[in-house]
Amino acid sequence: MKKRMDRAWRWLAVNMGKHARYVSIVGLVITIIMGFGLTNLDFATDQDAYLNKNEQVYKDNVEYQDLFGGQAMLGAIRIEEGTTLEEFLSPKNLKIFQEIEKTLVANDSIEAVATPYNTMVLSDTLIQKAAPTEAQVKQLADGEITAANLPTQALPTTSIAGVSLDTATAAAKADGDTDEAEARDKDFGETATRLLAIPEADRTLDNIEWRKFLLYDNTGAVRESLLPFFPNPQTTQIVTRLKGLSLIHIFIVGYGILAQAIVAFDGALENWVPYSFTGGATSAQDLLSTIAAAILSMSTLVLSVTIVARCV
């Protein structure tokens, strides 16, 4: 068996040596064809590549992403040292974040965007707007009105947040949890005192004291509900939700749109560290870049061997 294999290899080597020019040409043509084919490779990065369509987890995932969107992209912006959150969220910077939001939501691949601007607007709405009636809840759900159409309330007890806290306190009392009920009552009293200390006419995002009230709880820490957008005193985040069931390359494109939207206002945005913007798509982008580089290296190696063989 070994002798037959040796004879076969010697015969192949001798005949390929006799026709080296043709062998080189054929090898070169095959390499070119393979190299061209590599450009048409498509990575399967959608849900079908990981889950079977008949599985319940796939169906649940589709339903969830239809309701809430797909992958989330986090863009973190570092605030300049010595600048507080309330100073960074100046009227000028909030206006810029509003423009960034408009740019992002206009893109077809993006489902929703949360910026420092609409985060502060939401907090302001919860504090100042009256709790909606049943009819208004339906109108809000149908898109007939927005929260801005709700009447403004001067008293903290009648606002959306006030009614929610009062309901939670009543539930704690009904459950017999006196410690939680007392803690909520105490915290609500301190919050109301801070709120009423700011004149109603000054409760706008242009007023730094009002921004401080919206940002910080009674202990001076960033409100827990705002931590996803302001994880620490020197960082703010833009949270972007892509359309449901997006491919990884769409994820990377979305990240590029997010980064470009920030860089476009580089000279206008105040009190941030330039080019400190980071996002969550870089790992996926690096992965695909590494795979592409490996394929290119293999193709180059094959081509080099072919050329050397032809020269010999």
Reduced to 3 states (helix: H, G, I; strand: E, B; else coil), residue 266 is coil
**CB of 228 closer than 8 Å to CB of 237:** yes
Burial status of residue 1 (CB atoms within 10 A of its CB: 0-12, 13-18, 19 or more): exposed
Of the candidates 32, 182, 212, the residue with the CA atom closest to the CA atom of residue 120: 212
Q: What is the pLDDT of residues 91-143, one digit of tens each?
A: 999 999 999 888 888 888 788 888 999 999 999 998 988 888 888 888 888 88
Per-state percent for the chain, helix, strand, coil, to nearest 5: 60, 10, 30
Q: pLDDT 10s digit of each residue in the chain, 312 long? A: 667 777 777 776 676 667 667 767 777 777 777 666 666 665 555 555 666 778 887 778 777 777 777 777 778 888 998 999 999 999 999 999 999 888 888 888 788 888 999 999 999 998 988 888 888 888 888 888 887 788 887 777 788 888 888 888 888 888 888 888 898 889 888 998 999 999 999 999 999 999 999 999 999 999 998 998 999 888 898 888 877 655 554 555 556 667 777 767 767 788 887 655 554 444 444 545 555 555 556 556 555 555 554 555
**CB of 238 closer than 8 Å to CB of 115:** yes
Spell out the domain ranges in the chain: 2-41+288-311, 72-152+198-280
Evaluate the CA torsion angle 116, 117, 120, 122 in order and state its sign: negative
**CB of 23 closer than 8 Å to CB of 16:** yes
Q: What is the CA radius of gyration of the chain?
A: 30
Contacts of 51 (CB under 8 A, 6+ apart): 57, 58, 61
Q: How far is residue 195's CA from residue 210's CA, in Å, rounded to a whole number? A: 9
Q: How far is residue 234's CA from residue 262's CA, in Å, rounded to a whole number? A: 17
